[in-house]
Structure 1
Amino acid sequence: MDRYSKVGKLVRDRIPQIIREDGAEPVIYTAAPEEYRDRLRDKLGEEVAEFLEADDESAPEELADVLEVVRALAADLGIDANQLEKIREAKAGERGGFAERIVWTGSR
């Protein structure tokens, strides 16, 4: 899927500053819009994998990372957090959520 160099990865906005504060000079560039979207999708997979591997103690922080990437993807699609929540609410109203823990095993 990734047509761009596998060198580097999308990082949070403050990471270059943090690297500088640690005494190093980061080598960075700003992704073009198409690359940015592709790298956000890659980042979502990375963050979901980290969440799936997390224990109960670190899971909330990893889930927050997933949410940050989801919000960035929504913004890239022109959808703000409120619009995204309205879409989620509409879908939940139509199809339900997951609170009842229902597992489907097929139909007769």
Structure 2
Amino acid sequence: MQEKYVLTKGKLVRDRIPQIIRADGAEPEVYVADLDEYRQRLRAKLTEEVAEYMEADETHAPEELADILEVAFALAADLGVDPDQLEKLRASKAEQRGGFSERFVWTGNR
């Protein structure tokens, strides 16, 4: 059974953040999450990054999309899927079902 963590304290940060904090003269308090907690925190991070994208203006939106991709790649890696495989899956789905460039909005069937 998968253990549930209460994710009230701390947040998942990029790998170099503790080093950057140290370079700024502070000492970060960090620990390494176990696999179950890591998976939960990745999902929470995805929600956080999507929310930041939704709030971003056009200038900052590309940076927020890059953050979303980084989390998506980490989630994929956790599933044993590398970025190339993920892109192949995306391309296959786009070939079968299309992308979103036509801007269609479905409102139901007649």
TM norm. shorter chain > 0.5: yes
2:91 aligned residue (63, 84, 89): 89
What is the letter of the counterpart of residue 91 of structure 1?
K
**Equivalences for residues 1-108 of structure 1 within 5 A:** 3-108=5-110
**TM superposition score normalised by structure 2:** 0.94
Aligned length: 107
What is the letter of the counterpart of residue 49 of structure 1?
A
> For structure 2, which runs of at least 5 residues remain unmatched after alignment?
none
1:93, distance to aligned residue in structure 2 (A)? 1.2
Identity of aligned residues (%): 67
Flag as ranges the 4+ runs of structure 1 deviating above 3 A. none
Aligned-residue CA RMSD (Å): 0.9
Distance 2:53 2:22 in 1: 28
Deviations 1:14-62 (A, max 9, x none): 0000110111100000010111011000000000000000000100001
Decide whether the 8 Å contact of 1:4 with 1:35 is kept in 2.
no
> For structure 1, which runs of at least 5 residues remain unmatched after alignment?
none
